[in-house]
Structure 1
């Protein structure tokens, strides 16, 4: 019987350099991140395309008086007028300077709807109401310019305000029909955008550099900028650390709605930080009416299928459920902690972003708001 002897072969491990190991791990992380972000965009696109909301069609003629203020109010004018075209039989759009009792009498509308109303002569409104025409105003900037709006609201039959805290104030001025009606998201402007953005962001902030925003973000700016944060808006060059980050802060440029939606969609997290009602350098609110209601960006960010971190206002939970459809913070430290948390917890970030998108399309578009308004006026 023969014996076969075999030599044991020792397989030496292949040594990988630290650089190559880092590249491998980077490719794995990139693949996983791309998959998760692709899943989020795919789900958001599906939700947006399959959602359908129907509203009653009314045989009404609406005379819509635009704000007359140009950008950034003109996109709101577009959102309202475009939405109204699908809700009523006839829509006539004019500028504030064209609103006269003679012009109204010529077209015989069922309702004269004014946005903002700063440039509309109250004397003409009084004549229009005396002729029997219904009038309504949708105020755009409450409570920040109430010094002016308090002198205008009594000249309308119906007053709709973005700020719930203004309701008792206007009622005390003799307005019997005052309603809380925030702005909303216009799907023609704000929606999930799946195509790759020119400038990917982890964190975004878009808005003017009011002093309360400067004071809030300045203590955490160094940590914030470690997460590929990009800021857009006017006056940010007065930020104390602006020179250190000017390559990621775009100042003195108003972004069109489509550009803003693309930036939101290209961000993992978008910060929403409301302006202060006590800023005398910008506001005309000498009675210091507080602000409780969310700003229009709250709905626009959510419509893009992106996680929103918002400072907490008391009315916010009426529109989105914190922790499920939006996330909130109450201090700079809490904001930066939650940014770092959600950047490393992709599923939670994705679930909240998609929940916000679904809630927005279900309840917070201009179709919902204008249908609510018309239901009040033409009950």
Structure 2
């Protein structure tokens, strides 16, 4: 089952390096973004290792069951609510961003709330499936998406349209102290480990997750590519003229010897699949954690009564997503994302520390 942990990390790294994080880091490119590309992975991977090792002390248990071991109901419920809402909000932001892109490039005549409604309905259906089914869906979508995305990345790096002089010009800004926002954004690339809060229920064999040392290198490589490739295509100054940095970059790429010359259609398909699976995971996590606050909740059964809390939660969050997406514009979205990036690192660190303390307490109890 350890491969599913890598799947969770991969989907987090891929979705964040092709959507929000490149825009945040590119906005900070003259103010310390390059050092943050190396500092962020260190912070993110330390949190990942600590959280992973801590969760392995609770074989086959999710966050609600672990919290019930150490906290009274009055303290566990607020913690579950905060964690669930924060997790599901990240999926909401991703879907709104994706809907803006799809509306602009694929179907500008369709109202944004109609497009978001369709996305939300499909996501709710996926998030309400069993944890094992969600993992299987994740595996299938990654197998379909990753080869196509890697092909686009490799082709863009070696394309004659890639201007490496613009990339070399950024070296002059390598020694500037990074801001908190850029460090937080780069570390957020590795936030996929949070999925163990629920998916740890399927890791019952107790075997350690191998090859964790590969994840920092994969994440760093993806971040370097997502940061420098748009600069190489759009220029160090000209990149400010584009709202959707990676979409504009992909639209500048041509593949003359394949049946699709403009690869943006392939990219948008990959983006849609990755956004769906990421939001399905985050909404599954959030609905499972918040659902644990209700008496009828039972993760071991597929009975309709047990799934009703998760259904209500997904519907409420889905309605909120549609309303938010129809009332904001791109500028407001990016402002919200910038604030989100600043907030998320201390939240993740606090959450990891809580689980780490619980794992130490469990060891002392067993001794």
Q: Same fold (TM over 0.5)?
A: no
State TM-score, norm by structure 1.
0.26
Q: Indicate the structure whose relative CO is greater, using CA pairs within 8 Å and at least 6 residues apart.
A: 2
Larger radius of gyration: 1
Q: Which structure has greater strand proportion?
A: 1
Q: Which structure has greater helix proportion?
A: 2
